[in-house]
Amino acid sequence: MSDTFDPDHLRAGLQPLSANLALSEEGLAYQRFYNMLGLGREGAVNSRLGRFEIGGYEIVTQLWMPERPVATLVLVHGFYDHMGLYRHVVEWALELGFAVISCDLPGHGLSSGTRASITDFAEYQLVLERLFLEAATLRLPKPWHLCGQSTGGAIVIDHLLSRGNESPAQGQSILLAPLVRPRGWTLSKVSYYLLRAFVKGIDRRFSENSNAPAFLPFLMADPLQPRRLPTAWVGALAKWIERIESAPRSRRSPLIIQGESDMTVDWSHNLAVLNDKFEQPQVFMLQEARHHLANELPELRAQFFEFLTQRMKQS
């Protein structure tokens, strides 16, 4: 039984989620590779892959549906990431009886687009809005909760600041190590403006962004990991930061999980911005946790999942 799959071939064979088709052999190989088969093993879970088109991209989406879902989690992955890295978050949500819907962002995972690139963060909002439409078409149960890790958190932040109480997701909003500014942003921005006319991208540096010892080797062997940092993405980030930091306040109150050993984002600056932008956000700090909270050590995940579970039960 092979765990190999061709991303382009797999994507081309997909239909909308509403078609409710069983996973193909290649889809099963994809789920085996990322250890996502058998999620929700305490009860029957319908798992399917699908595809939609938006903004010139073919976006691959995924749904996990328990037998009697009581709510829905809309999950947004981070930069360089894809859905296959989020099984711990999916399993936690399934244990709460939530349906989970997610997609690979443009240029990531199984979706089309220049790898890890984007011209404007507004394109991410188009994808998120289309994902909401998928959830509505499937009649996924409300409340709809949002969860975003890192750049996924930035996408959720953007959505909350622009849509607020008009958002179709009126449940809890979870920000895992959310991006506002990356660490060392001033130097990165200067480098971008100096190099953008000459360089389209630089080689990616893989770093220890989790305390879990097996995570970095897995990332480096992951066939869906981009190997370059496009300068276009950095330029889009620069425009987005300026817009978000000058955006008006929102009355939404997100749940924020942040590791104090995070060396990827400028978390002290980011928390100050988020405290200013939102109405009394609840912040849960983990002293030892690094950036990729979705793949931290089990004991660290257990701590913040317990915090989130309690808040979900109160909503």
Environment class of 100 (CB within 10 Å of its CB; exposed 0-12, middle 13-18, buried 19+): buried
d(CA 235, CA 96): 39
Mean pLDDT of 190-212: 85
Lowest mean pLDDT among 43-47, 70-74, 271-275: 43-47
Structure tokens at 220: 């480096």
Query: Per-residue pLDDT for 190 more than 80?
Result: no
The full set of domain ranges for the chain reads: 7-308
Look at residue 42 in the predicted model and tell me its pLDDT. 60
Residue 190 or 20, more confident: 20
Q: How confident is the model at residue 43 (pLDDT cuts 50, 70, 90)?
A: low
Mean pLDDT computed over every residue of the chain: 95
254 in Cβ contact with 283 (< 8 Å): no
Q: Taking the alpha carbons of 115, 116, 118, 124 in that order, is the dihedral positive or negative?
A: positive
Structure tokens at 162: 């622009």
Mean pLDDT of 126-140: 98
- For strands 144-149 and 71-76, give the pairing: parallel
Look at residue 191 in the predicted model and tell me its pLDDT. 80
Query: Per-residue pLDDT for 126 more than 70?
Result: yes
Inter-helix orientation angle 87-95/298-314, to 10°: 40
The DSSP string of 210-242 is: SS-TTHHHHHHH-TT---EEEHHHHHHHHHHHH
Q: What's the full length of the chain, in residues?
A: 315
Indicate whether this model's pTM tops 0.75.
yes
Contacts of 57 (CB under 8 A, 6+ apart): 106, 111, 112, 113, 123, 127
Query: Per-residue pLDDT for 37 more than 90?
Result: no
- What's the CATH number for 7-308? 3.40.50.1820
Look at residue 303 in the predicted model and tell me its pLDDT. 98
**Distance set, CA 285 to CA 75, 177, 270, 291 (Å):** 21, 10, 13, 12
Look at residue 288 in the predicted model and tell me its pLDDT. 98
First and final C-alpha spacing in the chain: 43
178 in Cβ contact with 274 (< 8 Å): yes
Q: Name the residue with tokens 């309690």.
A: 310
Q: Write the Ramachandran bin of 102: left for phi over 0, alpha for psi from -120 to 50, otherwise beta.
A: beta
